[in-house]
Amino acid sequence: MSHTSDRLLRLDAVLDRTGLSRATLYRKIHSGTFPKQVKIAERCCAWRESAVEEWMQNPSGFTAA
Delimit the domains of the chain by residue range. Answer: 8-61
pTM to 2 decimals?
0.84
pLDDT digits over 10-51, tens only?
999 999 999 999 999 999 999 999 999 999 999 999 999 999
Nearest to 18 by CA among 63, 45, 55: 55
Q: What is the rounded distance in angstroms from the CA atom of residue 43 to the CA atom of residue 41?
A: 6
Q: What are the strands of the beta sheet with 38-41, ordered from one edge?
A: 8-9, 44-48, 38-41
Q: What is the rounded distance in angstroms from the CA atom of residue 64 to the CA atom of residue 36?
A: 7
Q: Which pLDDT value is given to residue 1? A: 45
